[in-house]
Amino acid sequence: MATHGITRAAGTAMRTEEARQQQLRDIDAYKELVDLVNTKITERQYTLEVLGLATKLLKQNPEYYTIWNHRRRVLNALFSGETADESSKHAVNDLLQNDLQLTFALLRQYPKCYWIWNHRNWLLETAELQQGADVGRQLWSGELLLVNKMLGADSRNFHAWSYRRSVTAQIERLTPRAEGQMTRSMTESEFDYTSNMVKSNLSNFSAWHHRSKIIPRLLNERDADTEARRALLDSELALICEAINTDPFDQSIWFYHQYLMTTLSPDCPSQDRIVLDLNNSDRQRYYENEMQYMREILEDEEDCKWIYEGLLFLAGAYLEFDNGTKIFTTADMRSWLEQLRRLDPLRRGRWEDLGRSLNL
């Protein structure tokens, strides 16, 4: 269907007669296999043989969602046919391991195929139901290795990031609480994971996003007091400002900076705030510091539109608490807007609207 990134020339070479004949034979073989699986499923032949045929078909076409459904029908039948003795437990385990291997191999090949991820999730849930919480916890923990491999190959794969969030939630659910602990949380290790990810690639917006979701939880679970919260905000600002300094043209970084600034706003819902007890002069001080920093980097990067956008964002926020000690003038704002118009004509309609909303 949606062919992505395949050049037209590669797909359009004239086929020789021999290649055409081969393709017709391939079509016949494929259709025969499809018919065979569908017929046997219609006859409710839920057997190991049919499972094998489905494997063959799915390796050829992992997007064929109905065959994944058939596969689960067969597996459910095989699971429920077993008794509770030791040998059948092995059989269940073998079947699960077999499908874990199959989906692992297919995900490496087709990392964006929804149906493979779905099947894998179903396998893990089913394994827990079949074999109990201990086995479930072991299996879910093992999934982190898979996710790390998938994100190692493509650090922006949103299927892998979603699966990661689901896997950590399952591990937390299944891990017994230690004495005196509220929960066995993975928040700290997830926070560290995002630190490593953004350090190796500042452009990884997926990692910055994940970090923004982790931080409020992290602070709650640390039972952080006001000092600890301010320290975290300051260290996040230091981190992102260093990133801006490294590559001021990378929008991932600017969105994360915007996130941090958003948490300062009185409109920010309390569960999303980093520091809980900011007053307006605290806010102004943060805005002033950030503006000061941006004006400094502007000296070397006067053609970076993100800086002007950041300055105008901060100016708008600052003006909500203006106490007469203005650190910028309306003329400054006009000149920043003028720079945006000059540097970023693609979005000129937006800059017109911004000028109107700021009365510039």
- Kindly list the residues in this chain that would bind other proteins in the complex (CB under 8 A): 1-12, 20, 23-24, 26-27, 30-31, 34, 38, 60-61, 63-66, 69, 72, 114, 118, 121-122, 156, 158, 161-162, 165, 203, 205-206, 209-210, 212-213, 250-252, 255, 258-259, 262, 272, 345-350, 353
- Min dist. Cβ of residue 180 to other proteins (A): 28
Kindly tell me which of 204 and 284 has the beta carbon lying closer to other proteins. 204
| Angstrom distance (rounded) from CA 32 to CA 117 | 27
Kindly tell me which of 9 and 178 has the beta carbon lying closer to other proteins. 9
Kindly tell me which of 90 and 112 has the beta carbon lying closer to other proteins. 112
| Angstrom distance (rounded) from CA 110 to CA 211 | 27
- Min dist. Cβ of residue 206 to other proteins (A): 5
Tell which residue, 327, 337, 328, has the closest CA to residue 358.
Answer: 337
Kindly tell me which of 38 and 88 has the beta carbon lying closer to other proteins. 38
Kindly tell me which of 44 and 90 has the beta carbon lying closer to other proteins. 44
- Min dist. Cβ of residue 305 to other proteins (A): 10
- Min dist. Cβ of residue 177 to other proteins (A): 23
Kindly tell me which of 140 and 256 has the beta carbon lying closer to other proteins. 256
- Min dist. Cβ of residue 87 to other proteins (A): 29
CB-neighbour burial class of residue 327 (10 A; exposed 0-12, middle 13-18, buried 19+): middle
**CA neighbours within 13 Å on the CB side: how many for 198?**
25
User: What single-letter amino acid sits at 318?
Assistant: Y
Kindly tell me which of 272 and 327 has the beta carbon lying closer to other proteins. 272
DSSP string, 58-105: HHH-TT-HHHHHHHHHHHHHHHHT--SSHHHHHHHHHHHHHHHHHHHH
Kindly tell me which of 334 and 350 has the beta carbon lying closer to other proteins. 350
Q: How many residues does the chain have?
A: 360
- Min dist. Cβ of residue 83 to other proteins (A): 26
Tokens standing for residue 214: 């982790």
CB-neighbour burial class of residue 277 (10 A; exposed 0-12, middle 13-18, buried 19+): exposed
| Angstrom distance (rounded) from CA 122 to CA 20 | 40
C-alpha distance from residue 219 to each of 29, 182, 194, 196, 355 (Å): 58, 14, 16, 19, 38
* Residue 154 near residue 163 (C-beta atoms within 8 A): no
Kindly tell me which of 89 and 209 has the beta carbon lying closer to other proteins. 209
- Min dist. Cβ of residue 42 to other proteins (A): 9
- Min dist. Cβ of residue 117 to other proteins (A): 9
The DSSP output letter for 265 is S
DSSP string, 149-191: HHHHH-TT-HHHHHHHHHHHHHHHHHSPPPTT-S----HHHHH
- Min dist. Cβ of residue 28 to other proteins (A): 10
Tell which residue, 280, 233, 239, has the closest CA to residue 261.
Answer: 233
